[in-house]
Amino acid sequence: MNKIQELFQEYAQLLNQQEFVGSELDYTIFEEQRPFLDKMVQINNTALTVFDLYQQKHIYNSYNLNELFGYDVEKIDTNYYNSRVHPDDLYLLTRTGVLALKYSYGLPIEERKSFKLQNEYRVLNSKDQYVRVVEQFQTLELDPKGNFWLALTLLDISPNQEAHNGIRSQLINLKDGSAQVIKHNFKKEGVLSNRESQVLSFIKNGLLSKEISDKLSISLHTVNTHRQNILKKLGANNSLEAIQYANRLNII
């Protein structure tokens, strides 16, 4: 299992931590809000979705997801959304979701509707081009026990389309407007050894194992052992995946 799959699994486990009683959930609450959501779409030209954490599926997808981003509304689920995210942004976007869920679970019930998560990242649009979007998550409804039940997502084209690698995320307090930037700080020594980082850097620059052996004055067998350890530590299937993953974490 590679790193992104492990994150998907951790995210799913977090969702499953909440215990719902289906008979206590009154979906007429959502149906009463549907006209308001439709109006928001028409007035603001913002794409909206509502995710049901009990059923773990999207129960509302605005029609303009197709107009703005080329999304097939009939196919939308979590896997479909992930498939539209730029591969270089998906890992940290998922990790942000995990961190945000953990933070949210720690909030007192009375504060659980007082925060929203804002992400800026790249998605594939209707022209098969990657564009930056601003995505905002906030709690729409809690269940009678205070569990996070319905989550509202707003998706807009970002006014900031300059080239930028990675994502930008922050938690925003809806009461006072204060924001807490979510940073992903990874230390080289916590993932790869110094020698492994050297080897991977050489691989990234196109050097073959024999060339790396000569540059570092180590045996070919040692280079190959480092290569195997790198793949194992990064959960990668090949050198290209290892380089991509290490780039996302800024460890080479």
Whole-number pLDDT of residue 75: 86
Whole-number pLDDT of residue 245: 78
User: What would be the CATH architecture of the domain defined by 188-248?
Assistant: Orthogonal Bundle (1.10)
pLDDT-wise least confident of 94-98, 187-191, 215-219: 187-191
pLDDT of 138 > 90? The answer is yes
Give 88's pLDDT tier (boundaries 50, 70, 90): confident
pLDDT of 185 > 80? The answer is no
The alpha carbon of 15 is separated from its chain's Cα centroid by a whole number of angstroms, namely: 14
Strands 115-124 and 130-142: antiparallel
Q: How far apart are CA 115 and CA 226, in angstroms?
A: 44
Counted residue by residue, the chain has a size of 252
Phi, psi dihedral angles at 70 (to 5 degrees): 75, 20
Give 105's pLDDT tier (boundaries 50, 70, 90): very high
pLDDT of 236 > 80? The answer is no
pLDDT of 219 > 90? The answer is yes
pLDDT of 163 > 70? The answer is no
Residue 226's closest CA among 241, 242, 249? 242
Mean pLDDT for the chain overall: 90
Stretch(es) of the chain classified as CATH 3.30.450.20: 3-181
pLDDT of 187 > 60? The answer is no
* Beta strands across the sheet bearing 47-52: 57-61, 47-52, 148-157, 130-142, 115-124, 168-173, 179-181
Stretch(es) of the chain classified as CATH 1.10.10.10: 188-248
Superfamily of structural domain 3-181: PAS domain (3.30.450.20)
Averaging pLDDT over each range in 71-75, 77-81, 95-99, which range is the top one?
A: 95-99
